[in-house]
Chains A and B, each alone.
Chain A
Amino acid sequence: MSSIGTGYDLSAAQFSPDGRVFQVEYALKAVENSSTAVGIKCKDGIVLAVEKLISSKLHEKDSNQRICNIDSHIGMAVAGLLTDAREVVDIARSEAANYRAQYSAPVPLKYLVERVASYVHAYTLYAAVRPFGASVLLASFVDDKPELYMVDPSGVALGYNGCAIGKARQGAKTEIEKLKLGELTCEEALKEAAKVIYVVHDEVKDKSFQLQMSWVGTNSKGRHQRVPEELVESAEAYAKQSMEESDSDDE
């Protein structure tokens, strides 16, 4: 089901008669075509997980990261047109670095999110450019406070306790809502995040995928890092096991 803009969707500089900016809505659709990314806020940090679809066996395993460091204390997971996402990553890094240069302090996530959101929003105002076809999740853990934000192509930025972007975000959101977010630790959340990704992964349409996970919290001493291999493997094992258990329930 797609609504046709018919004449009001030619540029982001136009409203439709019913008050929509179609270009932005189309950009949101572009994000929905990408594979899923989730973020979970825990008591002691944030866990980010991405379902990285592998389109060719020849690809190098860890190339084309969907989770990046913006600064040592901030991580970003992306979904959508990956080249558009790349630009957003660069902007965020630039803002964070400039803040450090000016104020000799790490940028507060709240401030960075506003800057990134304003930047993305600016591309929804003019006919000369198109909006970014990417949504991003931003996470940090500073002064024992975990923070998770999502910026979407319209420039809207909201804080979340749990968030999902990409093609299976509805399903992922449902799974995340089942979790007791306020009580989870990062270690527990690793397993749950892996499970969410495995559950929403579409075996039929998308064949193989790689699970990428990162975290920032007490376990990583406030630095945003890739989750160590062993922990990823044990989280995946838990996820696969849960799938099998629920499969056998569906006899």
Chain B
Amino acid sequence: MFPDGNYGLGSDEISTGTSIMAVEFDQGVVIAADSRTTSGPYIANRVTDKLTPIHDHIYCCRSGSAADTQAIADIVAANVELDGVQMGGLPLVKKAAEIFRGYCYSYRDSLSAGIIVAGWDPKEGGQVFTIPLGGMLVRQPFSIGGSGSTYIYGHVDATFKKNMSREDCVKFCSNSLALAMNRDGSSGGVIRIAIIDKNGVERRALLGEEIPRFYEG
């Protein structure tokens, strides 16, 4: 039932078990991720940064195999850099997402990568694109991913509203991920947040006491 054959406890290959999400708002996007990297039951890194820059205003949230997603992100970042230089301007988020999808689909049988591409460009503003396991690409107003996301589908569907403000989006992400991290064994640590708009990227981290708390029994 679980592709890794380990009953959802995580494979022995290093994996970013993960809870990730991204939300579009009026002027940009908010992206967030947990910070746990597991190798089987062992937490290889409890302070991972799963929010990876692709370009100045484009980031991706990585879930699945750490090796696969890092390798793809590096190649895509190189391609996007070249595109930015060739076209003389900020690269389009959609282009970065399409390049990601190209690799994820072509090598779908060899890869284990679930990626959310999010960023801001002058043409379309804030955009979130999700690329789940098989290499599908779709733009969404918000997207959740990773093993922890399964526990919060109800919560996000009930809580999401259109036209939220920047800080509302940050709250939406931090609350959702806190809930996911509490239920998913492969997610945990700190909540890393990045807010991307026309001015660039603002990074935040919610540590320990700052992480929202809900029913704990």
Those of B132-190 within 8 Å (CB) of chain A: 137
Cα distance, A146 to B88, chains bound together (Å): 17
Per the bound structure, the CA–CA distance linking A108 and B98 in Å amounts to: 16
In A175-209, the 8 Å CB interface with B consists of none
A169 within 8 A of B: no
Least CB distance, B34 to chain A, in whole angstroms:
31
B residues near A114, Cβ cutoff 8 Å: 86
B98 touches A104 (CB 8 A): yes
Contact mask A130-158 → B, CB, 8 Å, 1/0? 00000000000001000000000000000
Given A104-B98, A104-B137, A110-B88, 14 more A-B residue pairs with CB atoms under 8 Å apart are A102-B98, A102-B102, A103-B94, A103-B98, A103-B99, A104-B94, A105-B92, A105-B94, A105-B98, A110-B87, A111-B86, A111-B87, A114-B86, A143-B123
Tell me how far the C-beta of B138 lies from the nearest C-beta in chain A, rounded to whole angstroms. Answer: 11
Interface residue? B95 (CB, 8 A): yes
CB under 8 Å from chain B, chain A span 46-88: none
CA distance A105 to B87 in the complex (A): 14
Identify B87's interface contact among A102, A108, A143, CB under 8 A. Answer: A108
The residue that A103 contacts in the complex, of B86, B88, B95, B123, with Cβ under 8 A, is B95
Task: Classify chain A: how many residues form its interface, as a range.
Answer: under 10
Bound-state CA distance A105–B97 (Å) is 12
Name B82-141 residues within 8 Å CB distance of A. Answer: 86-88, 92, 94-95, 98-99, 102, 123, 137
Residue-wise interface mask of A (90-133) relative to B, using a CB-CB cutoff of 8 A (1 in contact, 0 not): 00000000000011110010110010000000000000000000
21 A-B interface contacts by CB (under 8 A) = A102-B98, A102-B99, A102-B102, A103-B94, A103-B95, A103-B98, A103-B99, A104-B94, A104-B98, A104-B137, A105-B92, A105-B94, A105-B95, A105-B98, A108-B87, A110-B87, A110-B88, A111-B86, A111-B87, A114-B86, A143-B123
Chain A proximity of B84: nearest CB distance (Å): 12
Cα–Cα, bound, A114→B88 (Å)? 13
Contact with A along B59-101 (1 / 0, CB 8 A): 0000000000000000000000000001110001011001100
Question: Which chain A positions have C-beta within 8 A of B102?
Answer: 102
Chain A interface, DSSP helix/strand/loop, else mixed? helix
| Complex-state Cα separation, A9 to B94, whole angstroms | 48
| Closest A residue by C-beta to B88 | A110
In the docked arrangement, what's the CA distance between A103 and B91, Å?
12
Q: Give the complex CA separation of A50 and B166 in angstroms.
A: 54
The minimal Cβ–Cβ distance linking A101 to chain B, given in whole angstroms, is 10
Residues of A within 8 A of B88 (CB): 110
Chain A residues closer than 8 Å to B94, beta-carbon distance: 103-105
Residues of B within 8 A of A105 (CB): 92, 94-95, 98
Whole-angstrom CA separation of A233 from B73 in the bound complex: 56
Nearest CB in chain B to that of A104: its residue: B98
Question: What is the distance, in angstroms, from A116's C-beta to the closest C-beta of chain B?
Answer: 14
- The interface centre, meaning the residue of A104, A110, A111, A114 with most chain B CB atoms within 10 A of its CB, is A104
Please give me the residue from chain B that is nearest to A114 by CB atom.
B86
Q: Which residues of A contact B99 (CB under 8 A)?
A: 102-103
Please report the C-alpha to C-alpha distance between residue A96 and residue B99 in the assembled complex, in whole angstroms.
Answer: 16
In whole Å, how far is B100's beta carbon from the nearest beta carbon of chain A? 11
How many angstroms from the CA of A114 to the CA of B85 in the assembled complex?
13
Closest to A143 in B: B123
Which B residues are CB-close (under 8 A) to A103?
A: 94-95, 98-99
Q: How far is the CA of A102 from the CA of B101 in the complex (A)?
A: 9
Chain A residue at minimum C-beta to C-beta distance from B96: A103
Say how far A42's CB is from chain B's closest CB, in angstroms.
23
What are the residues of chain B within 8 A of A102 when measuring CB–CB? 98-99, 102
- The smallest C-beta distance from B106 to any residue of chain A, in angstroms, reads 11
Q: What residues of A have a CB within 8 angstroms of the CB of B137 in the complex?
A: 104
Q: Which chain B residue has the least Cβ–Cβ distance from A108?
A: B87
Tell me, in angstroms, the Cα distance from A103 to B86 when the chains sit together.
15
Shortest beta-carbon contacts, A-B, top 8 = A103-B98, A104-B98, A103-B95, A102-B102, A108-B87, A111-B87, A105-B94, A111-B86
